[in-house]
Structure 1
């Protein structure tokens, strides 16, 4: 039996970030399985009136995140909308004012409501001079999720962490990766030439938001150490954010590619030799999965996706969270033996081949039906 599900989210394609990409995949996959999916989100610009089965509501720019918006409280509008077209389930993706009002309205109308945990906003606050707000933000996030029937998370480690904080109904849904798009076959000699690569490189790559919460100082430190042993190494940054301009000033020898999407982004992954992922604030980190699917070995801290996907010295390398010395040593070790690096590249690709989005969509549907049955 098909379901009518209302997704409430602050971000959605064509916006470029991990949450938007994930929700776009879930919505598309559920529609392919015959479900009626509506999306309620903030307007992305003044001319945005929403697409088919989309309701675009007023929003404001998210502080520190140009290009992203958070939704305003919309209790009356949601009440009217869902009385006219009652969904079988409301799924709240993000925890802003719009998400909170969606949970409240769904509970008031007796509509089953679930949630997703995608972003550690409480941890981000430390990097924007608002560390004093972290306890309050953490309490707010947990309170919202306690008001829903199930909270869907990407990894078992995060599920255990949230359960340890007293949340019930935490379920692992996982994340997929498009292994047809992210493919080692997209490696491009012409692209490497544009980067100014001499000989075999190596090329080190970072993909993601160029911002303080991503711990980018560790990328700088690791690449500086790599250059000592590999003077021809090249550092390529893909993405944009508030730290991009200063990084470009500090490192005129690095290549800053800006925002890339689709096949262009896939070619950037496949054309590099080592992926540097330094973040400690991720709930998952889609870029780790995309890099590995592209045959690109990853050095990362043992957390989020990296903890779940990387087998040390087999398909990548991990360091204990916060151990910068081990992180840098791991990067150097990976580049020390080209044959071993090539073997890890092949193993990384093989790791990701079974992790498709179709399986994730099936799990989401199963958790949603279980939550609705429990409510009944």
Structure 2
């Protein structure tokens, strides 16, 4: 990659991409939109898929590599074909490769950089895998002590891996401090965003509430995410069941997952709705705006995009005092309780509902609008973090190319 370049090619490589949504997918789609609207760069997305295929749309290219499903997960696939990834790199010749997971794919990117040393590598810490996957899997099998020890080893592994990249960012101050203590020099903090023009209270629909059988004065709770053990979907259902029957409350469980069918069967005859995965963002925004309280039991959120989207729609949040929820939900915007405690969660839901006239939802909307936006996210990523990484690898010539043109779409070929 020598000589003058007409435009940079930016590449995202990840396992954490599912047709059924998820925070990483939202991040990547918003990122692509920003790149096409605000820069002259090309964007390449390499993800696992059902079959090999390449989708080209102007400056945007999506390369899907046939990959098996993750055992026990209907949503995610495991991309293990490093040679196919290297072939995708050969075809697209990226100037920057960003990885959002810590498994085999970052090592493939490092292998490619050894042969193309001007390629800048950026890593984003989007999943707290030592806690979410390593410790949680081992604890019931090897005991809590052994699981904690292996979790510590997994964090050291992650620090060793990310230390080889040209830039590394986390999504919270807590994660940045954690990796700083493990020896990583100055991890960047990237605050993600929400589309506050889409997620807002103006989309509230009494007709939608009536369709769900929710009276105008009854509380409608909403959960959005995978319906599985990792996301603690069952905890939300258990907390809902402990609310006073006289309230005639309803619960909306948005998403798909391996526990969905079982929970649907268990909740038959109750006012609990399982629409499945909601692909249409406007429909999702209407569901949020038509609800009253957002509820999550997830303990290891690295950011919580859906939490911000719910706040943008004017919803107070009830969650657990762990992970990114601590940063996302200050006391004025909701209630956080102990992990895995359905009684405490139900009590917090009740407290928020009884306090609904205090303006908590309005404060949540203002908080989201003033603090979280995708343009701010990607201005920092593309105009600060990426140029720093490029400068390490390719010098000033290429790092200076990633600047916002006056009319980037007009430059598309």
TM-score calculated relative to the size of structure 1: 0.89
Deviation at 1:71, TM superposition (A): 1.5
What residue is the counterpart of 1:71 in the other structure? 79
- Kept in 2, the 8 Å contact 1:278–1:300? The answer is yes
Flag the 1:55–1:337 CA change in 2: closer, same or farther, 3 A: closer
In the aligned structure 2, how far is the partner of 1:242 from the partner of 1:138? 28
In the aligned structure 2, how far is the partner of 1:226 from the partner of 1:164? 43
In the aligned structure 1, how far is the partner of 2:295 from the partner of 2:84? 46
Give the alignment partner of residue 299 of structure 2, picking from 249, 267, 280: 280
What residue is the counterpart of 1:59 in the other structure? 67
- Kept in 2, the 8 Å contact 1:70–1:98? The answer is no
Give the alignment partner of residue 184 of structure 2, picking from 150, 153, 167: 167
In the aligned structure 1, how far is the partner of 2:114 from the partner of 2:32? 23
In the aligned structure 2, how far is the partner of 1:356 from the partner of 1:76? 35
Flag the 1:49–1:333 CA change in 2: closer, same or farther, 3 A: same
What residue is the counterpart of 1:116 in the other structure? 124
Q: Secondary structure, in 3 states, of the residue corresponding to 1:213?
A: coil
Give the alignment partner of residue 34 of structure 2, picking from 11, 29, 32: 29
Where in structure 1 do 4 or more consecutive aligned residues deviate above 6 Å?
Answer: none
What residue is the counterpart of 1:10 in the other structure? 15
Structure 1 position 296 matched with structure 2 position 315: yes
Deviation at 1:169, TM superposition (A): 4.3
In the aligned structure 2, how far is the partner of 1:76 from the partner of 1:207? 34
In the aligned structure 1, how far is the partner of 2:229 from the partner of 2:322? 18
Greater CA drift, 151-160 or 176-185 = 151-160
Taking only aligned residues, the RMSD between alpha carbons, in angstroms, comes to 2.6
CA offsets 1:4-52 (integer angstroms, 9 cap, x no match) = 3222122457541111111111122122222423324244223733334
Flag the 1:85–1:68 CA change in 2: closer, same or farther, 3 A: closer
What residue is the counterpart of 2:349 in the other structure? 331
In the aligned structure 2, how far is the partner of 1:320 from the partner of 1:128? 17
Flag the 1:374–1:322 CA change in 2: closer, same or farther, 3 A: farther
What residue is the counterpart of 1:346 in the other structure? 362
- Kept in 2, the 8 Å contact 1:114–1:371? The answer is yes
Structure 1 position 368 matched with structure 2 position 373: no
Flag the 1:324–1:163 CA change in 2: closer, same or farther, 3 A: farther
Flag the 1:83–1:243 CA change in 2: closer, same or farther, 3 A: closer
Gaps of 5+ in 1: none
- Kept in 1, the 8 Å contact 2:231–2:297? The answer is yes
Greater CA drift, 104-113 or 82-91 = 82-91
Q: Secondary structure, in 3 states, of the residue corresponding to 1:68?
A: coil
Deviation at 1:72, TM superposition (A): 1.8
- Kept in 2, the 8 Å contact 1:75–1:102? The answer is no
TM-score calculated relative to the size of structure 2: 0.81
Deviation at 1:364, TM superposition (A): 0.4
Flag the 1:217–1:127 CA change in 2: closer, same or farther, 3 A: farther
